């Protein structure tokens, strides 16, 4: 297997109509393949507007089974054009039990991996706890034809434990399908620092674990005028040294193509042996919540 892998980040603006979003995603996947992409990642919950801005029971009708209609369509596409696709979905496990999930479809059109978001936020206009049960599949990595990849989702992005455990599972590239943006009422005062924090935490995961980090966000403004979210794009790739090797704009739909040299993972880990110097015999406190003692 070559150490070189070409990935594509599909930065999209979502429509209210899932059919239009799926059609757009298919066209962008085809275009990314024409540009040489071997692994293509879509943004979090790409089929719809970010419905978690409100608590509305009607939105549960959006959820679908895995495998299901969308995965069947994209499995056919992956097989036809021979490409790996990371597909984030609102999953219906059974009635009353739903997950924020993603699947990895291999170049033969088979569902090769399945991940369910582990950390579920509950913030203003990010009411995900209303919809999603925390993941029950654990942290995962998948040994694909073009490298071993891990999949985490958005809020997972802020937790060093998630990145570390995914790297320990063997991941050389961690993909983060994402839906993050500014509350417009806060953007002027806090927008710059919020974006910088988001970029900083991803860079830190890449460095601390000696992996590539690939984050794929949406763009566009969604929601009611006085409570809308401006999704800030900035889809980005960090190498294991924390260098930015590809990045998108903050407001445009685009396909970001990036060449990744997986041999850098071993080289960086040899020079920055963070995994070697871990003190796993002293980390028991990580399994406890903070206390005043």
Given a cut of 70, whether residue 115 has pLDDT beyond it is yes
Active-site residue 154, yes or no? yes
Q: Sheet holding 229-232: strands in order across?
A: 181-183, 229-232, 219-222
Kindly report, residue by residue over 212-227, the tens digit of the pLDDT: 999 999 999 999 877 8
pLDDT (average), residues 4-29: 97
Given a cut of 80, whether residue 293 has pLDDT beyond it is no
Q: What is the DSSP letter of 6?
A: E
Q: From residue 277, give the alpha-carbon distance in Å to each of 34, 270, 274, 286.
A: 43, 11, 5, 17
pLDDT at 224: 84
Whose tokens are 């369910």? That residue is 116
| Rounded Cα distance, 62 and 52, in Å | 12
Kindly report, residue by residue over 231-255, the tens digit of the pLDDT: 999 999 999 999 999 999 999 999 9
Burial class (CB in 10 A: 0-12, 13-18, 19+), 31: middle
Given a cut of 90, whether residue 1 has pLDDT beyond it is no
Element (H, E) at 264: helix 263-271
pLDDT at 28: 98
Active-site residue 75, yes or no? no
From 72, 25, 74, select the one nearest 48 (Cα to Cα).
25
pLDDT (average), residues 271-289: 95
Given a cut of 70, whether residue 258 has pLDDT beyond it is yes
The single residue of 28, 33, 41, 44 carrying the catalytic annotation is 44
Kindly report, residue by residue over 67-91, the tens digit of the pLDDT: 999 999 999 999 999 999 999 999 9
Phi-psi region of 59 (alpha: psi -120 to 50; beta: other; left: phi over 0): alpha
Kindly report, residue by residue over 38-49, the tens digit of the pLDDT: 999 999 999 999
Active-site residue 52, yes or no? no
pLDDT at 292: 76
Kindly report, residue by residue over 136-187, the tens digit of the pLDDT: 999 999 999 999 999 999 999 999 999 999 999 999 999 999 999 999 999 9
Whose tokens are 């070189």? That residue is 4
Q: Is 119 helix (H, G, I), strand (E, B) or coil?
A: coil
The single residue of 28, 117, 140, 264 carrying the catalytic annotation is 117
pLDDT at 144: 97
| Rounded Cα distance, 133 and 122, in Å | 12
pLDDT at 146: 97
Q: What is the mean pLDDT of the chain?
A: 97
- Are the C-beta atoms of residues 9 and 246 closer than 8 Å to each other? yes
The single residue of 41, 52, 102, 154 carrying the catalytic annotation is 154
From 178, 181, 171, select the one nearest 148 (Cα to Cα).
171
From 46, 45, 90, select the one nearest 64 (Cα to Cα).
90
Burial class (CB in 10 A: 0-12, 13-18, 19+), 57: exposed
Q: Are strands 84-94 and 173-177 parallel, antiparallel or unpaired?
A: unpaired
| Rounded Cα distance, 177 and 156, in Å | 10
pLDDT at 225: 78
């Amino acid at each position: 297997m070559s150490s070189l892998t070409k990935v594509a980040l599909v930065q999209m603006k979502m429509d209210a109509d899932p059919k239009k979003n799926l059609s757009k995603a298919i066209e962008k996947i085809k275009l990314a393949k024409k540009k040489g992409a071997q692994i293509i990642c879509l943004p979090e919950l790409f089929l719809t507007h970010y419905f978690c801005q409100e608590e509305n029971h009607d939105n549960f009708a959006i959820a679908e089974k895995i495998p299901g209609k969308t995965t069947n369509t994209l499995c056919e596409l992956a097989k036809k054009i021979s490409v790996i696709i990371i597909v984030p979905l609102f999953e219906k496990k059974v009635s009353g039990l739903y997950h924020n999930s993603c699947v990895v479809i291999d170049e033969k059109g088979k569902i090769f991996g399945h991940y369910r978001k582990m950390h579920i936020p509950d913030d203003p206009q990010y009411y995900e706890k209303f919809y999603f049960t925390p993941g029950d599949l654990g942290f995962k990595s998948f040994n694909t034809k073009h490298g071993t990849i891990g999949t985490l989702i958005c809020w997972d992005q802020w937790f060093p434990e998630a990145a570390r455990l995914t790297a320990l599972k063997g991941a050389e590239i961690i993909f983060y399908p994402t839906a993050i943006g500014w509350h417009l009422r806060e953007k002027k005062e806090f927008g710059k620092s919020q974006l910088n924090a988001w970029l900083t935490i991803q860079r830190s995961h890449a460095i601390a674990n000696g992996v590539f980090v690939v984050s794929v966000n949406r763009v566009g403004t969604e929601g009611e005028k006085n409570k809308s979210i401006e999704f800030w794009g900035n889809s980005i790739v960090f190498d294991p040294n924390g260098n930015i090797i590809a990045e998108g704009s903050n407001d445009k739909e685009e396909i970001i193509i990036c060449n990744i040299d997986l041999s850098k993972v071993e080289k960086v880990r040899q020079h920055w042996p963070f995994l070697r110097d871990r003190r796993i015999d002293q980390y028991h406190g990580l399994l406890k919540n903070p206390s005043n003692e």
